[in-house]
Structure 1
Amino acid sequence: MTGTGNPTGLVNGGLETGSLAPWTCQTGGAVVSTPAHGGTHALLAAATASQTGQCGQTVTLAPNTSYTLSGWVQGNYSYLGVSGGATASTWTPGSSSWTKLTVPFTTGASGTVTVYLHGWYGQGSVYGDDFSIA
């Protein structure tokens, strides 16, 4: 989902603007054209021996409400989750093909959470695409 006015607050979920914004990443994170799950761009989280490569975006949702974050990931030890006003995550040990991950969560009183994608120390970069919150 892209654009402003998105009822779920997530902006540039498909990375199709070709820009990282409003995502922020640790060193090496970027928007890449290969591999892409849908469209022509994906998010690269650059995990190294000293960092998970986390990329995240803060979104504001309705307070005390249940949602499901979903996204497509590729790479070893790909983690997708939310932190801040809710804490939930899931991961896959990885593969060279795209895997869909879903993370159910319930917002707290503020409704604000940070959506994130990251890999694991020393396991190489991971990719994410087509993120959405429903």
Structure 2
Amino acid sequence: MTTPVHSGSHALQVTPDPAGTGECDRTVTLSPDHGYPLTGWVQGPYASLGVSGGANAGTWSNGSDRNQLKATSTTGSSGTVTGYVHGWYGQGSVYADDLALG
């Protein structure tokens, strides 16, 4: 997606449908038992940014303006976590940009 972006020329677009949520996620393996922040810029209704696996953490925004969100999670003994951007049932598209884990 080329607009809206926070920096660069593209952003991730997640579009939920009326019967379900929209989500994009990525699973990574990091150092076990260590805290990591997930940060990113999101825009859209009921936009959620979070980490699952280990100690789950998440935060959300409900506005038409771009917001920087941050969720900090601690990995478990395996070090495997999943970072995600999420849009809520039947709401408009969510845009995410400049995502970073660590």
Verify the 8 A CA contact 2:50 2:57 in the aligned structure 1: yes
Q: Does 1:59 align with 2:24?
A: no
Instruction: Give, in angstroms, the shift of residue 48 of structure 1.
Output: 1.5
Task: For CA contacts below 8 A with separation 6 or more, give which structure has more relative contact order.
Answer: 2
Q: In structure 2, the residue corresponding to 1:44 is in which secondary structure?
A: strand
Verify the 8 A CA contact 1:73 1:100 in the aligned structure 2: yes
Verify the 8 A CA contact 1:82 1:89 in the aligned structure 2: yes
Structure 1: state its 5+ residue gaps.
1-31
Deviation by residue 1:82-123 (Cα, 9 ceiling, x = unmatched): 11333111101122x210000011000011111100110011
RMSD: 1.0
| 1:37-52 aligned within 5 A | 37-52=6-21
Larger relative strand fraction: 2
| 1:1-134 aligned within 5 A | 32-95=1-64, 97-134=65-102
Residue identity in the other structure for 2:14: A
Verify the 8 A CA contact 1:33 1:40 in the aligned structure 2: yes
Verify the 8 A CA contact 1:46 1:125 in the aligned structure 2: yes
Q: For the residues of structure 2 that align with 1:122 and 1:46, how far apart are their CA atoms?
A: 8
- Normalising to structure 1: TM-score of the pair? 0.73
- Normalising to structure 2: TM-score of the pair? 0.94
Instruction: Give, in angstroms, the shift of residue 81 of structure 1.
Output: 0.3
Verify the 8 A CA contact 1:48 1:125 in the aligned structure 2: no
Residue identity in the other structure for 1:93: N
Q: For the residues of structure 1 that align with 2:72 and 2:98, how far apart are their CA atoms?
A: 16
Q: Determine the structure 2 residue equivalent to 1:17.
A: none
